[in-house]
Structure 1
Amino acid sequence: ICVMPFYSTSDRDTGKLSVQFPEFVPSTSLVGPPGATHFRIITSAAELDFEKNKYMLNESRTPSLLYDDAESAGFTLDISITPNTKQAFIHLLGVEFYQEVNGKMYLLHDSSFVPLGVIHAESAVA
């Protein structure tokens, strides 16, 4: 789904997690489902408390971007977790594809595309 380069950083001490994307061409850097006209990139982080069976989720996403042959500017998506968290946490990256019809965006669902992946994970600390 995502063949473009990206760089991620995760800092437990500050609670800052980032994903940086250099300039890219969407139609050659992302493999989308047929009919896709737009996409959004999403990054999420979840702190996982396995003892209490709870989690805290934060996310950041781009606005809808054209899925075309024009070069897109680079950008950074930042999210945060609790600074110095003792909980395990995961950092995820995903892509949503849309089709614009008569000015309205429709999310495309295609079971052959699973545009979500773990880009970083850390265990709980004592």
Structure 2
Amino acid sequence: MVKVIQADLISDRGLRNVIDGEAELLFGFEFNIRGKLGTSLFASYLATIDCAAGEIKIDLVSFIPANMISAPCGTTHFKIISGGAEVDFETENFVVSSSETAILPWDNTATAAINQVNTLSPASLKPLFLAVGVEFYQEINGQMYPLKKGAYNPLSLAFDNSMLILVFMII
């Protein structure tokens, strides 16, 4: 964030802000140093934004989890998560929407296509953020347990080719 704020060449020192900075520098930001999305999820995904409708979407084509997700030892299941945020940096207010798949088996069976829509305010002029991540689980005696209390769950900022969509997600 320091680099983003320092990129503000308009505001006086001490008054620099994210809006006049370079929020694009946040693309690819990894929220978890022990679990990075870029080294965990290899399935192709497309992030899109429809400002008029206020929809931030993530679409993954069908994939084989054991081939396209590098999971920590002990993983039996996973889920794909995403979240959208509309952030007003001036008033420090935000709107958040999140989506997740059901808990899916981490095996050699192809998933269905995954389409998640996070709905925010239509026609917003505020910066929009998109978070994409994976949660890992272990099944024991029919019960699902978060693997290592989420220590290896990757979460990263993503964007589409037409507009910056930063990632923001509460786990």
- Assess same fold via TM > 0.5: yes
Considering only aligned residues, what root-mean-square deviation do their CA atoms show, in Å?
1.6
Aligned mate of 1:20, from 50, 59, 69:
59
Q: Does 1:47 pair with 2:86?
A: yes
SS of equivalent residue, structure 2 residue 158: strand
Aligned mate of 1:61, from 79, 87, 100:
100
Structure 2: which 5+ residue stretches go unaligned? 1-39, 167-171
Aligned mate of 2:114, from 75, 91, 101:
75
State the Cα distance separating 1:81 from its structure 2 match.
Answer: 1.1
* Larger relative helix fraction: 2
* Larger relative strand fraction: 1
Q: Aligned pairs, how many? A: 122
State the Cα distance separating 1:75 from its structure 2 match.
Answer: 2.3
State the Cα distance separating 1:5 from its structure 2 match.
Answer: 0.5
State the Cα distance separating 1:114 from its structure 2 match.
Answer: 4.8
Once the two structures are superposed, what CA deviation does each residue of 1:35-74 show, in whole Å capped at 9, x if it has no partner?
0111010110011111122222110100000001111121
Structure-1 separation of matches of 2:118 and 2:127: 16
SS of equivalent residue, structure 2 residue 74: coil
Higher relative contact order (CA 8 A, sep 6+): 1
Structure-1 separation of matches of 2:94 and 2:117: 19
Structure-1 separation of matches of 2:165 and 2:58: 16
Evaluate the alpha carbon distance shift between residue 107 and residue 114 of structure 1 in structure 2; reply closer, same or farther with a 3 A threshold. Answer: closer
Evaluate the alpha carbon distance shift between residue 33 and residue 122 of structure 1 in structure 2; reply closer, same or farther with a 3 A threshold. Answer: closer
Structure 1: which 5+ residue stretches go unaligned? none
SS of equivalent residue, structure 1 residue 28: helix
Structure-2 separation of matches of 1:75 and 1:55: 26
Deviation beyond 4 Å, 4+ runs, structure 1: none
Letter in 1 for 2:46: Y
Q: Does 1:118 pair with 2:150?
A: no
Once the two structures are superposed, what CA deviation does each residue of 1:54-102 show, in whole Å capped at 9, x if it has no partner?
2221101000000011111212111111011121110111100000111
Evaluate the alpha carbon distance shift between residue 79 and residue 29 of structure 1 in structure 2; reply closer, same or farther with a 3 A threshold. Answer: same
Structure-2 separation of matches of 1:53 and 1:8: 25
Share of identical aligned residues, percent? 30
Aligned mate of 1:10, from 49, 52, 73:
49
Contact 2:136 2:153 in 1 (8 A): no
| Larger CA Rg, structure 1 vs 2 | 2
